[in-house]
Structure 1
């Protein structure tokens, strides 16, 4: 699986939502999750994550996350753990 530039795709999902408390990751309402998007590499996902986190900096309960989807899609591939 490669992107148009010839690099191997290491898909990353960026999403966020409002947490019940600051002590654990449990969302207040799953219907209100903000699914930002899926990105071909960590650097792209990190750029978007930073922007979304900055937009919600005034809400202490709002959190955004990056999920390494490539690790979930191919858990046996040890090289996939690097990205």
Structure 2
């Protein structure tokens, strides 16, 4: 019996310096780090964690995981 392939749930990892410690507004959009798009949350989380740890000394630098699959298909429940 063949196993069905895992459903592709795209996630974007993005980061940059924030204009303030509270809130989510980038200081300079030209310097936003678009790390990449990943096929599932687990692989996006691994990259997010690595990037966040690399910038731990900069309190203004933050990285995010964007659930692109929810933006592309809002009716999707996963």
Q: What CA distance in whole angstroms lies between the structure 1 residues aligned with 2:75 and 2:39?
A: 20
Residue correspondences, number: 75
Q: CA deviation at 1:42?
A: 0.2
Structure 1 residue runs without a partner (length 5+) = none
- For normalisation by structure 1, the TM-score amounts to 0.87
Q: What CA distance in whole angstroms lies between the structure 2 residues aligned with 1:48 and 1:27?
A: 20
Q: CA deviation at 1:6?
A: 1.1
Partner of 2:57: 58
RMSD: 1.1
Partner of 2:76: 77
Partner of 1:29: 28
Structure 2 residue runs without a partner (length 5+) = none
Q: What CA distance in whole angstroms lies between the structure 2 residues aligned with 1:71 and 1:13?
A: 11
Q: What CA distance in whole angstroms lies between the structure 1 residues aligned with 2:39 and 2:53?
A: 22
Q: CA deviation at 1:23?
A: 1.0
